[in-house]
Structure 1
Amino acid sequence: MYLHLFLVFVAAACLTPRNLVAADGDRPAVSVSVVKVEKDFSFGYIKRAGSITAIRKVRISSEVGGMVERLFFERGDRVKRGQILAEIGTSKIRLEVEQALTALKAAEIQLEKVKKGSRAEEIAISEAALKEADAALRESEEHFRRIEALYGKSAVSTSEYDSALRAVESTRSRRAAMVQQLSMAREGARKEDRAIAEAQVAQAGAAVALAKDRLFRSVIRSPIEGVVSHKAVEEGEVIIVPPGAAVAQIVDSSSFKVEVAVSEMDVVNVRENSLLQFTVDPLPGKTFNAEVTFVSPAAEPLTRNYVIELLVKHPDKAMSDGMTARVRIPRAEAGAVTVHPSALTEKDGSVGIYVVENDKAVFRRVDVGGYKGDRIIISKGLVEGEFLITNPAIVKEGTKVTY
């Protein structure tokens, strides 16, 4: 996995000058530079590829269905918090609000009318009706008294007497009804009538509140400041109920985190709140710091790796969501062998080094295990005490050497 890191040195190896390399055993020995392989007990690191992710990445959805009437953004636009992004079915919902307000006004007028009770002319009509009932009662009573006197003298029949009596009772009932009607007109509406009218006002008010809420939600606003990373709709499209369809995605480019997976051998060297360094491929020559905010307590089931999250300190303006970060993970190499990158070369597609054996250059394939400062850790292929050729470009397999 480290092969790509050494392409520069491999290319240098391919440019070996022929006049410097011994062709066979008759050629004189080539003078080379060597170093004795020794173990380094200092602390090194390995690089692990991770992903840069915006800490705040919001998917904007519509809470109401309807036609996308207007859009106020394009992909890549920077938007502020609360800025209007779109209007969904707003015109129709405005009509619903107006209708609800009209119904509320009518209910309020009816309630006011009920509270005030009958008008003056209605009371006057009731009073006039009562006077007529009084006059009719007096007339029927006088008529009954005459019939009663004649009935006592047997001058009228029983049926005439009964008819006069029923007339008195009927006029008395009508008068009682007129008295009650006048009393109600003067008293005003009953409690039940008021309760009904008040309930109608409350219901109409709730309808207004619901319509206004729908109107508010039909106007989509950005909940954060950031950059539009995705545009999901166009003007004229219809968002079908149920609502929740995506309209856009906003990314806050002011804060980022890095997620990286490490092996069980390396996770033990990472602690929360510690600082690690990382580089970004599209930003060569720059090194960034990040604070470890989370170390997974359990390995991923499939990879058996542990996820680490880091908060980027002072992110670069050119840094974007989704970029690859190469994080330096501490690694304790007990007695690790390290070499300078210039000592690495390539032969038959394998990365390795040249060591001196019996005064000849011998190619040795090696495994790269990490980094330690500006040196490379060799995890396999070198033995302490061997002599390593540091200028491999001037030798090949079997070249006689002197140092």
Structure 2
Amino acid sequence: MQFARTLQRALLPLATIVAVTLPTISWADTVLPVQVEPVQQTRFASLVKEVGKIKAIDSTTLSFNASEKIQQINFHDGDLVKKGDIIAELNNTKAKLDFTKAKNSLALKQTKLDRLNGLLAKEPYAMSKQDVDEVTESYYIAKADFALKQVQLKDYQIIAPFDGRLTSFNQSIGSHINAGTTLVTLYKLDPVKVKYAIGQEDLAKAQKGQKVEITVEAFAKQNFKGQVSYVAPNVDDQSGRIEIQAVIDNPEHHLAPGMFANIKHYFSRGNLHLTIPQNAVIANNNQRYVWVVANNKAIKRDVTLGKNINNGYVVVTAGLYNNEQVIVSGMQNLSENSLIKILPPQASKAPQQPPKTATPAATSSTQQEQQ
């Protein structure tokens, strides 16, 4: 028994020495794997979202100015035409005869007038003034008749007044058609315009030349761009809103008159803001902080947040700088100055970068959007 107590007293200092010399194992001495994302500088534009309808800038019904049978239709339903193309022609046999007769009559009157002028140059008093006036008047009458017959001959044709696409034809070759009866309609499809309305609260911000982007259901993944061409000077009595029109480029003719369109009307480019993933932010009561990478260590940094973006990012108004790296995964065991190892990008499961369509939450009709 005495021996046991002696042995215990002898081993106690040794145990103390071992306890002191053994390293203390803690997370601070462990290299912790983390995933990071850079602080980004993002521009948010002021915009309003509306729904509108596609309209043709130019459209017209095409008809003949004469009554006859249709002799020729040179295009098919839905064809594209160029300005000046002859779309259709009537039987113009009689009109051609009248034109030829007027042309020959003018040539004859021209010859008589030329002879008279030649004679008067040699003998100024060879003919009376009345005879000279009659020949001259006869020439001008023939000239006017020729011009009239020339115009009337074109009444038997339909000529495209601008580039565009035809609708279906209402008549066929051989049909008798009266003057003024619509044969086909022509739409100009590039550019087109979109017509919509904005609230009164946005009137002061709307101006001609502002950028507009639209999408349509038929081409949901494609953005069509244009500019505001008209801002109504008045408020509509019934809707209480302001009419807006914008011209939209449509080189492939994907946009058709009558389509509904989702519209983004940009009032301004907006200011630059810093953004980070929402999952990088840690909440502690009213405090918000993130872990920032510095010299392979994790540093705690208090931040002030702005608006959330709908795709998982948040605006930072204070506490961070552009291109700093914030930890987005692996924060559970971090402490101040913890050693860290940054996982390569391919191993990261952090949120995707904010797309250009990300929109912060807004309580008014006017929103902000990342550019």
TM-score, normalised with respect to structure 2: 0.53
The aligned runs of 1:208-357 (5 Å cut-off) are: 208-240=146-178, 243-313=179-249, 317-329=253-265
Give 1:303's aligned amino acid.
Answer: S
For 1:373, the equivalent position in structure 2 comes to 358
Contact 1:227-1:251 within 8 A present in 2 as well: yes
Change (3 A) 1:299 1:199: same
**Residue equivalent to 1:124:** none
User: Using the alignment, how far apart are the partners of 1:201 and 1:46 within structure 2?
Assistant: 67
Change beyond 3 A, Cα 1:287–1:197: closer
What is the Cα deviation at residue 202 of structure 1?
2.6
The count of corresponding residues between Structure 1 and Structure 2 is 235
For the residue of structure 2 that corresponds to 1:81, the secondary structure is coil
- Is the Cα–Cα contact under 8 Å of residues 210 and 265 in structure 2 kept in the other structure? no
Question: How far apart in 2 are the matches of 1:280 and 1:306?
Answer: 22
**Contact in 2 for aligned 1:341/1:376 (Cα 8 Å):** no
Q: Structure 1 residue 258: deviation in Å? A: 1.2
SS in 1 for 2:208: coil
SS of the residue corresponding to residue 219 of structure 2 reads: coil
2:137 maps to 199
Deviations along 1:63-113, whole A, 9 cap, x unmatched?
Answer: 333332221122211112211111134222001112323444565677689
Structure 2 contact 192–250 (Cα < 8 Å) conserved: no
Structure 1's 377 and 315: CA in aligned 2 closer, same or farther, altered over 3 A? Answer: farther
Distance 1:69 1:220 in 2: 12
- Report the residue type matching 1:325 in the other structure: A
Structure 2 residue identity aligned to 1:73: F
Contact 2:226 2:246 in 1 (8 A): yes
Q: Deviations over 1:7-54 (max 9, x none)?
A: xxxxxxxxxxxxxxxxxxxxxxxxxxxxxxxxxxx9876532111223
**Cα distance in 2 for residues equivalent to 1:116 and 1:311:** 61
Return closer, same or farther for 1:315/1:259 CA change in 2, 3 Å cut-off: farther
| Residue in 2 that maps onto 1:33 | none
The structure number with the bigger radius of gyration is 1
Distance change (3 Å), C-alpha of 1:306 and 1:103: same
Q: Which runs of 5+ in 1 are unaligned?
A: 1-41, 118-186, 343-371, 380-403
Aligned to 2:288: none
Q: Give the distance between the partners of 1:200 and 1:245, measured in 2 at CA.
A: 37
Give the counterpart letter for 1:95 in structure 2.
L
Q: How far 1:261 sits from its partner (Å)?
A: 1.4
Change (3 A) 1:107 1:327: closer
Determine if contact 2:194/2:245 at 8 Å carries over to the other structure.
yes
Higher relative contact order (CA 8 A, sep 6+): 1
Are the aligned partners of 2:190 and 2:249 in contact in 1 as well (CA < 8 Å)?
Answer: no
Determine which structure has the larger helix proportion and give its number: 1
Q: What's 2:354 paired with? A: none
CA deviation vs aligned residue, 1:162-197 (integer Å, no higher than 9, x gap): xxxxxxxxxxxxxxxxxxxxxxxxx96544233323
Amino acid at match of 2:142: A
Distance 1:292 1:115 in 2: 62
Q: Tell me the distance in 2 between the aligned counterparts of 1:235 and 1:255.
A: 32
The alignment status of 1:68 with 2:70, answered yes or no, reads yes
Taking the aligned partners of 1:329 and 1:273, their CA distance within structure 2 comes to 11
Whole-angstrom distance in 2 between the partners of 1:110 and 1:290: 62
CA distance in structure 1 between the partners assigned to 2:108 and 2:46 by the alignment: 81
Deviation, structure 1 residue 228: 0.9
CA gap 1:202/1:322 in 2 versus in 1, 3 angstroms: same
Query: Which structure 2 residue ranges, 5 or more long, are not aligned?
Result: 1-43, 120-124, 268-305, 313-356, 365-371
Structure 2 residue matching 1:308: 3-state secondary structure: strand
Cα separation, partners in 2 of 1:102 and 1:314, compared to 1, 3 Å: closer
CA apart distance, 1:340: 5.7
Q: Secondary structure at the match of 2:239?
A: coil
Change (3 A) 1:300 1:196: same
Matched, 1:90 2:26: no
Q: Would you say the 8 A contact 2:214–2:263 is kept in 1? A: yes
Amino acid paired to 2:85: Q
Identify the residue that residue 368 of structure 2 maps to in structure 1. Answer: none
User: In the aligned structure 1, how far is the partner of 2:95 from the partner of 2:67?
Assistant: 11
Counterpart-to-counterpart distance in 2, 1:80 and 1:257: 20
